[in-house]
Amino acid sequence: MNWWFLALWTTLVKGWVVNEGTTCTLYPESLIYKGQAVDDAPSIQQAFDLCGTNGTVIFSENLFHVNSVLNTTNLLNVDVHLRGELRFSSNIPYWRTHAISVILQDQVTAWLFGGTNVTFHGEGGFYNGNGQEWYNANRNQSNQPGRPISFTVYDSTNLLVDNLRVIGPQFWATFVWDSKNVSFTNLFVNATSDSEWGTMNCDGYDSWKSDDLLVENATIITGDDCIAAKGNTTNLLAKNIYCEGGTGVTIGSIGQYAETPDYNMNITFQNVTVKNAMDGAYVKTWQGSRTWVPSNGDYGGGGSGLVKNVTFKDFELINVGLPIQLSQCVYSDNSDKGCNTSKLAVEDVKWQNIHGTSRFNIAASVYCSDVHPCPGIEFENINITSVNASLGLPYYDTDVDHLIWQCTNLLDQKHTGIPCNQAAPSNFSQWIYSNVDHTGLARSSA
Ligand SMILES: *[C@@H]1O[C@H](CO)[C@@H](O)[C@H](O)[C@H]1NC(C)=O
Ligand SMILES: *[C@@H]1O[C@H](CO)[C@@H](O)[C@H](O)[C@H]1NC(C)=O
Ligand SMILES: *[C@@H]1O[C@H](CO)[C@@H](O)[C@H](O)[C@H]1NC(C)=O
Ligand SMILES: *[C@@H]1O[C@H](CO)[C@@H](O)[C@H](O)[C@H]1NC(C)=O
Ligand SMILES: *[C@@H]1O[C@H](CO)[C@@H](O)[C@H](O)[C@H]1NC(C)=O
Ligand SMILES: *[C@@H]1O[C@H](CO)[C@@H](O)[C@H](O)[C@H]1NC(C)=O
Ligand SMILES: *[C@@H]1O[C@H](CO)[C@@H](O)[C@H](O)[C@H]1NC(C)=O
Ligand SMILES: *[C@@H]1O[C@H](CO)[C@@H](O)[C@H](O)[C@H]1NC(C)=O
Ligand SMILES: *[C@@H]1O[C@H](CO)[C@@H](O)[C@H](O)[C@H]1NC(C)=O
Ligand SMILES: *[C@@H]1O[C@H](CO)[C@@H](O)[C@H](O)[C@H]1NC(C)=O
Ligand SMILES: *[C@@H]1O[C@H](CO)[C@@H](O)[C@H](O)[C@H]1NC(C)=O
Ligand SMILES: *[C@@H]1O[C@H](CO)[C@@H](O)[C@H](O)[C@H]1NC(C)=O
């Protein structure tokens, strides 16, 4: 018996990992168990234990069943190659009770991944979250407890994820938390539901408490935020991004927790296409006091902090409900939403070269809190036309016959670079389902 067979034999006893020196190659249990969906998580865990320092982990070109949580953290100098399919089980009761906490909003994750000097290469393989089961179970609710984030990068430094494909994410597809210098390149996410229920909360990429981030070349098809820079995201560059469906790219939501201020600085979104979405390029903060919000399933508001030096540039928007937005009461469900009370300061936000079409008769709604009117809000080279106007049709169901640009509490408003032809009301909605009338409001449900 040569050493290779010996290694294979000994590792087979514990799971199917072929360990040659510092390289661990994974094969699925289903190859032994006649195609049954036997859980591969233990052998995956074992491969990272054996080869997670100065090593290489290869998922061979096979179907892997992941029926239990993965915690592959504290890696050091590791290269991961994903050549097969990782099919996460749709055992919803299991994930609801076992997924790993990520603290933020009491959310959880199915896979916690991270370390120092780590690369993850999708080489023809992909992550299959079995999302349809989750979309059906979720029934269009928001932030349903225990619905796991697909892939979370945690406590990491110098980490690259290239060519990751996430098909049918359970919830947010990717999340970067407590990390520094993390890049996602050539990311593909497709959350598409084939039932009557939507893909609410299937964000493409979210970041929290992380610095020095890159997202380059991403295609994200989703029912919620394409990219969301949550609290304490600094120095994020997101470029060459295609977003379809959902709610565009955003700073936020932030200001949810009074105990922890959020500082979001030096963020650039560049060369972004947003198609058939509710929002385009926007900033969303919570209002100034804490309230229970049924639609978000959470308490929130009262947080302070600062959004500073954010640039949205070179955007093409195609049929977007609210192309440009700054809201300081984004989840408040009250009729008086309290946008005027937010404690979160917003400064130096620029929208440059923003072109395209809006679904309704509104191009922008920019509302800064009465507590902190915003300095340095600038618009340059903005050309948005309503879909109707671009088709030569009149505005409908409304008493306003021109494109609306709402502004409230912008310092030096005359020089912002947009017409500011209507005041933004303090109870504007993140979601609108009709044209805006002279009150500045639209229907906020379908
Ligand atoms: C990993 O490699 C580094 C050098 O790159 C070395 O200092 C360290 O001892 C190695 N660790 C192990 C467990 O081999
Ligand atoms: C994840 O694994 C690390 C060891 O790498 C351990 O310290 C940590 O407690 C684990 N976390 C959870 C939630 O199991
Ligand atoms: C990570 O890689 C960098 C650059 O190659 C190197 O300077 C650093 O020592 C590595 N970190 C660890 C913990 O090995
Ligand atoms: C950042 O991480 C990348 C890997 O994605 C690495 O090549 C680069 O050296 C890191 N930068 C620094 C400053 O360590
Ligand atoms: C996204 O998934 C849906 C449903 O599976 C599929 O019809 C569509 O072709 C996919 N889009 C892309 C770009 O792969
Ligand atoms: C669920 O939400 C989606 C997307 O927002 C919508 O298209 C769909 O009609 C909603 N389903 C029901 C049953 O209300
Ligand atoms: C992103 O795409 C552009 C255009 O296809 C390409 O030139 C560039 O190398 C890609 N970037 C990465 C990091 O793969
Ligand atoms: C802009 O992004 C798109 C992907 O959405 C890419 O095809 C194109 O090459 C990018 N343009 C530049 C100038 O990088
Ligand atoms: C953000 O950073 C600030 C300052 O470092 C800190 O006080 C605050 O607690 C952090 N917020 C979060 C959400 O961690
Ligand atoms: C603003 O952020 C960009 C990166 O997004 C950075 O290049 C620039 O230097 C920052 N400007 C200031 C004044 O901090
Ligand atoms: C923002 O960018 C500027 C210029 O590069 C830098 O001096 C500053 O430290 C950055 N701010 C943060 C919070 O990283
Ligand atoms: C604005 O875009 C429309 C098409 O979307 C185009 O017809 C019009 O010429 C553009 N206006 C300017 C000033 O570029």
pLDDT tens-place string over residues 67-89: 999 999 999 999 999 999 999 99
Beta bridge partners of 311: 268, 350
Domain that holds residue 153: 18-415
Q: Whose CA is nearest to atom 14 of ligand 4?
A: 158
Are the C-beta atoms of residues 317 and 357 closer than 8 Å to each other? yes
The whole-angstrom separation of Cα 169 and Cα 152 is 12
Model confidence band, residue 334 (pLDDT cutoffs 50, 70, 90): low
Average pLDDT over residues 31-47: 93
Number of domain units in the chain: 1
Distance (Å) from CA 259 to ligand 9 centroid = 9
171 touches 200 (CB < 8 A): no
**Ligand 8 mutation target, pool 271, 313, 318, most atoms within 8 A of CB:** 271
- pLDDT for residue 392: 85
pLDDT given at position 33: 85
CATH, residue 288 = 2.160.20.10
Q: Strands 17-20, 23-26: parallel, antiparallel or unpaired by DSSP?
A: antiparallel
427 or 15: whose pLDDT is higher?
427
Residue 439 resides in a domain: no
Residue 281 falls inside a structural domain: yes
Q: How far apart are CA 348 and CA 283, in angstroms?
A: 12
In a domain, 431, yes or no: no
Residue 436 in domain: no
Q: What is the pLDDT of residue 336?
A: 75
Question: Can you tell me whether residue 348 is helix, strand or coil?
Answer: strand
**pLDDT tens digits, 102-119:** 999 999 999 999 999 999
Helix (H, G, I), strand (E, B) or coil at 190: strand
Atom of ligand 4 nearest to the CA of 212: 1
Domain-embedded: residue 400: yes
**pLDDT surpassing 60 at residue 13:** no
Is the pLDDT at 7 greater than 70? The verdict is no
> Which one of 74, 75, 76, 158 would you pick to mutate in the ligand 3 pocket, going by the greatest count of ligand atoms within 8 A of its CB?
158
Name the percent of the chain lying above pLDDT 90: 83
Ligand 8 center to residue 326 CA distance, Å?
Answer: 26
Does residue 433 lie in a domain region?
Answer: no
Locus of tokens 């977003």: 243
| Average pLDDT value over all residues in the chain | 94
Return the best residue to mutate from 77, 116, 117 for the ligand 3 pocket (most ligand atoms within 8 A of CB).
117
Helices 41-51 and 3-14 pack at an angle, to 10 degrees, of 130
Q: Quick one: pLDDT band at residue 3, thresholds 50, 70, 90?
A: very low
Element (H, E) at 6: helix 3-14
Helices (H), 313-396: 387-390
Whether 421 is in a domain gets the answer no
Tell me, in angstroms, the distance from the centre of ligand 6 to residue 140's CA: 6
Residue 232 in contact with ligand 9 by CB distance below 6 A: yes
Residue-level pLDDT at 6: 44
For 307-323, how does the pLDDT look when each residue is reduced to its tens digit (9 = 90+)? Answer: 999 999 999 999 999 99
Q: Is the pLDDT of residue 17 over 90?
A: no
| pLDDT tier at 436, thresholds 50, 70, 90 | very high
Q: Whose CA is nearest to atom 7 of ligand 8?
A: 240
Q: Could you give phi then psi for residue 53, rounded to 5 degrees?
A: -125, 125
Q: Which residues are catalytic?
A: 224
In a domain, 332, yes or no: yes
> With bands split at pLDDT 50, 70 and 90, how would you rate the model's confidence at 265?
very high
